[in-house]
Amino acid sequence: MEVNEEPTNGGAAPESAAEATPASEPTTAERPPRDASAVPGRVPAPAVEVAATSRPMSLGVQLEMARLTPVEVDHPKALYKTLLPGVMQVPADYIIAAARKSSLWPMTFGLACCAIEMIATYMSHHDLDRFGIVPWPSPRQCDVMIVAGTVTKKMAPAVKLLYQQMPNPKWVIPMGACATNGGPYTRYDRVLQGVDKIIPVDVYVPGCPPRPEALMDGFIALQNKIMEERNQVG
């Protein structure tokens, strides 16, 4: 059965998406291949299961896809940028960015195993409070959202809502492989392959789960990013 190759109409899909699908020889078997008899221990990249295209996508999955549209991002102009004359803005940018950098308040938003490493980072062994980072329960008073764990498609609308509730300027740190691109669970269809599909992301922290030092390194990288982007951020 021929794998449909024509790009979707409406031009929105850039060409790069077309050949992103691996060259796949159409397998005729109705069922996906069962015995991975190749080299033991290594799962070969399975051919794209053509069988799926024959099944109509169930209504539930379509309803869910509609809920997973990404968040629209607005960067409002800062008040001091409109009031202060140009020459005064540079020092003002520097001071305000330094203040924001040294008092990042993340939201207590642990999802899965990475949450345990996040809690370990707040505790006395690797103390995040030294950087002025205090976890805060309510999204209204937070600057950073640490997505620590797998974002499933059932949880994605809640993540979007929390992101929209946070006041600007806000940043997102997807912690761990699951939040970056689905991690070990990426092949399951109920898991969102990376939180950057629904909200814009600033600093990715790799690891499964990343060590507390890796999360601290992520925070320091975010601090440097805040200092670099001090004139663009509102």
Partner 1 sequence: MSLPFLWGVFGVNMNVWLDAFVRLQLVVVVMTVTVMGLIYLERKFVGRLQMRLGPMRTGPFGTLQSIADALKLLTKEDLRPSTADFWLFEIAPYVTFVPVFMTLLALPFMDGWFVRDLQLGLFYIVAISGVTVIGYLMAGWASDNKYALLGAVRSAAQLISYEIPLILGVLAVSIVAGSLNLNAIILQQDTVPNLVLQPLPFIILLTAILAELSRRPFDIPIGESELVGGPWVEYSGIRWSIIFALTEYAGLWGFAVLGSLVFLGGWEWPFGTRSFWGDYDFVYQLFLVFTKSFFIILTMMWISATFPRLRIDQLMSFCWKILLPFGFFQVIINGIVVTYKPSEELRDVLLFLTSSALLVAMSLAIYLATRQPSREERVGKLLASRSAQ
Partner 2 sequence: MADMTTEHELDTIDVNVNIGPQHPATHGVFRMVLVIDGEEVVDLVPHIGYMHRGAEKLSENMDYRQAIGYQDRTEYLAQFNAEMCYVQAVEKLAGLVPPDRAQYIRVILAELNRISSHFMFLGAFGTDLGVFGTAFTYAFRERENVLDLFEEVTGDRLMYAYFRPGGVAWDVPRDFKERVEWVCENALVGAMDLDKLLTDNEIFIMRTRGIGILNAQDAIDYGATGPVLRASGVQHDLRRAEPYSIYDRFDFEIPIGTNGDSYDRYLVRLAEIRESVKIVRQALAQMPEGPILPERMPRLLRPAAGEVYMRCENPRGEYGIYLVSTGGTQPYRLRIRSSCFCNLSALKHMTVGHYVADAVTILGSIDIVLCEVDR
Partner 3 sequence: MSPDEKDDKPAEETAEDAAPAIGPVADLFKTALPGVSLEAAQGALDVLITIDGKDAHQVLETAKNDEALAFDFLRNLSGVDYEDAGLEVVYHLYSYTHGHNVTVKAKLPSQDPRIQTVSDLWRAADWHEREARDMFGIVFEGHPNLVPILLPEDMLDHFPLRKDVPLAPLEEWQGEQLGENMANAGHIPPGSGFDVTPSAEGE
DSSP string, 127-187: -GGGGT---BSSGGG-SEEEEES--BTTTHHHHHHHHHHSPSS-EEEEEHHHHHH-GGGTT
52 binds, among partner 3, partner 1, partner 2, none (CB under 5 to 8 A by kind): partner 3
Q: Given the complex with partner 3, which of 52 and 95 has the nearer CB atom?
A: 52
Return the residues of window 165-194 that contact partner 3 according to CB under 8 A.
181, 186-191, 193-194
User: Measured from the CB of residue 150, what is the shortest distance to partner 2 in angstroms?
Assistant: 5
Q: Given the complex with partner 3, which of 68 and 134 has the nearer CB atom?
A: 68
Q: Which helix (H) or strand (E) holds 226?
A: helix 212-228
Q: Given the complex with partner 1, which of 8 and 231 has the nearer CB atom?
A: 231
Question: Residue 174 in contact with residue 196, Cβ under 8 Å?
Answer: yes
Q: How many CB atoms lie within 10 A of CB 116?
A: 13
Is 23 a binding residue for partner 3 by CB under 8 A? The answer is no
C-alpha 173/C-alpha 228 separation (Å) is: 17
Per CB under 8 A, the list member of 90, 141, 154, 224 interacting with partner 3 is 154
144 strand-pairing partners: 106, 171
Rg of the chain in Å (alpha carbons):
22
Q: Given the complex with partner 3, which of 14 and 86 has the nearer CB atom?
A: 14
Q: Which residues bind partner 2 (CB under 8 A)?
A: 34-37, 40-41, 43, 107-113, 115-117, 119-120, 123-125, 137, 139, 149-150, 152, 154-155, 158, 162, 178, 184-185, 187-191, 208-209, 211
